Amino acid sequence: MLHRGWALLAASLAFGGVASEKITDDTHFYGQSPPVYPAPDAKPHGDWRAAIQKAQKLVSQLSLEEKVNLTAGYPSTTGCAGMIAAIERVHFPGLCLQDAGHGVHNTDFVHSWPSNIHIGASWNSVLARQKSLAQAGEFKRKGVNIMLGPSVGPLGRVVTGGRNWEGYSVDPYLSGVLVKETVLGTQEGGVVATTKHYIANEQEARRGGSNKTVAVSSNIDDVTMHELYLWPFQDALHAGTGSIMCSYQRINNSYGCQNSKALNGILKTELGFQGFVVTDWNAQHSGVASALAGLDMAMPVPYDFWGPHLLESVRNSSVPESRVDDMVVRILSSWYHMGQDSRFPEPGFGLAKNLALPHPIVEARKPSDKPILRQSAIEGHVLVKNTKGALPLKKPKLLSILGYSAKAPDRNMGILLSENGVVRTLSPTGYNGTLVHGGGSGATSLSTFLSPFDALMVRADKEDTQLYWDFSTSDPIVSGVSDACLVFGNAQASEAMDRRNLRDDYTDTLILNVARKCSNTIVILHNAGPRIVDPWIDHPNVTAVVFAHLPGQDTGKALVSLLYGEVNFSGKLPYTLAKNESDYGALLLPDLPEGDFVDFPQSDFSEGVYIDYRHFDRDGIEPRYEFGFGLSYTTFQYQNLKIRTKQRHPKQYPEAPIVSGGASDIWDVVATVTAEVKNTGSVTGAEAAQLYVGIPGGPVKQLRGFQKPTIRAGKIEKVTFKLTRRDLSVWDPVVQKWRLQNGEYKIYVGSSSRKLPLTGDLKIGR
């Protein structure tokens, strides 16, 4: 059957059969996204009431031409990725939109913050809030009104997806908690958060269309949409995100930025979104259709579809002027809601169009943010192996440092070619040095940093440690008296391309060659996602392995403090690491067009919610390191599980009014689970305690809570998990609401998705 309100999948012919004739348009696929019209207006309620009322008042003073000018970008005279023009007559200064969710892109005098995958590996919601607030300060000081981040799409369905590192985790709950805190912190700092890329944008291959090609279609059913991909967006909306960025690809054969079901139906009606929808850059494929479907702002320039064309569409009644009014109300209400109508810098004044030319220096870094910068870099490191007392290091006499990823990249001033000539950018991607971020629009700018080698050199100088190093040889000479051999590698990823594989033959060879000569080989991998560790992980001389992820500019300082035991490891994997690529099944690689569908590529999300650990659990596959796994310099014991039901007989469906994020009562607490975590080791450490729920009829278990207390040696801390109606519900595609079932729910608490020593039952209803 096809679920009401959202097509289940394209025709079986499109996915398994053989077409009898060449496909020339989307009507071949009967799994179409249903139309939802008209686009709902923003309603003044909740925290947004005053901002929307101010916006409505200002819009009433504007001419049609002025309103249309606010719906699309114009050629930027600054370094902003996108600009909305000023209207001096009403004292509106315009808007600057700039990448990205990990720091101010393509500028100077800013910090390079850890990427979101690094924050995901921290499992620390408090840290996510602190980091985003500090980061927002830099955007504001540079005159950026709208930050083009955070990203929770892609979620990580395709294991080799090129932009997975821009999100937090492949798990929707972990992503949802962290994106909520990021939105709250960013907007507390006075900057509009743009949660992206909405929605089901899960691969870079054929992500966008042009005059000659059509983008891939993500064919997804209603249940999977809500229970997996929409989940973190819903958390961002509940936090009040001011903007949502629609994505490049098609959703059930309708482009994301003109998909009326996704924009009008789900986002603005079901979830009560009050802000504005902006295109990804050049992701608009129509004029009238996208306007009526709920798009509010086109970027970077309007000439193909909006601008004078939108003006004409209003005048000939193809688009109601009220729709344009709502676009502008939504845009301006975000401006008002962040308080940007007062005490905000001139849009884009701190960014330079070309950094190679003379330009004013605008210092956006704040010295008081350095502890947050350092801590956020520290906590995303995950220790997955530590044998023979390899770590922490204890005043070694001689260290060998090997692999190009230990050193700084050869240059900080990268070069991008543009239509207007050469534009220089401060976003190295680590192809010839250590990896601090991924590539593309999400790359951060480096003002200064210490590479791992630089930081190790500082430490060695302090302790009179002898260092040997070799950054270029795959079979280096290794001193026979080395206390330890530190081998560095990386696993890169970038926008506009998916990763080729999950291995690096050069680094694998380097590790094996070093391990053959050095009995204490410690491997540090800076990685933008999963990285297969065979064939060297079980080598007896590979004594420790660190997944260092993408720490930003404090990469070296954070790593050295961990290696020497000044701070404890507390990160955990935000994805499952398989033993072999084949363990990931069909989701290892992106879907590529072939045969009769080469012109209209289709990506069938037929696995439903069974991605990552849900897939491994269902199919009985033993991972190399499971989702949520991570070691420490201490040990922890779980005890004293208690489960309390707050509502003995809760109603089956939510009944409260819609607020930003959905019906307000889906956030009601239904049950509370508590447990105790004891530090049974000899040093203080933080532990990310995790709660999983087995919902009747669903996956074996799904993450539904985590807490990360710091516990002194020998002490006990209590952790509390509050389970909401949504946490325990399934999506009902017929009623189109979250449904709380009567029955018995399994409760699991422990240190990872496969180490859950505490189990119990939660009974709902009679």
**So which residues are the catalytic ones?**
280
- Contact of 119 with 178, CB cutoff 8 Å: yes
Residue 82 tokens read as 């996108």
In whole angstroms, give the CA distance from residue 300 to residue 362: 24
What's the rounded Cα separation, in Å, for the pair 155 and 171? Answer: 7
582's CB contacts (< 8 A; 6+ apart) are 588
SS3 409: coil
**DSSP assignment, residue 168?**
S
- Return the axis-axis angle of helices 231-238 and 172-188, rounded to nearest 10°: 30
Specify whether the CB–CB gap between 242 and 273 falls below 8 A.
no
Cα–Cα distance between 456 and 476 in angstroms, integer? 19
Output the DSSP codes for 504-546: -HHHHHHHHHHHHH-SSEEEEEEESS----TTTTT-TTEEEEE
Tell me which residue of 263, 250, 258, 265 sits closest to 220, measured CA to CA.
Answer: 250
CA dist., res. 736 & res. 119, Å (int): 33
Give the length of the chain. 766
Determine phi and psi for 693, rounding to 5 degrees.
-125, 135
Measure the CA–CA gap between 700 and 679, rounded to whole angstroms. 29
**One-character DSSP codes across 722-745:** EEEHHHH-EEETTTTEEE--SEEE
List, in order, residues 6 or more apart from 634 with CB less than 8 Å away.
568, 679, 680, 681, 682, 683, 684, 685, 713
Chain-centre distance for alpha carbon 204: 15
Q: 322 is written with which tokens? A: 């009220």
Compute the distance between CA of residue 460 and CA of residue 705 in angstroms, rounded to an integer. Answer: 41
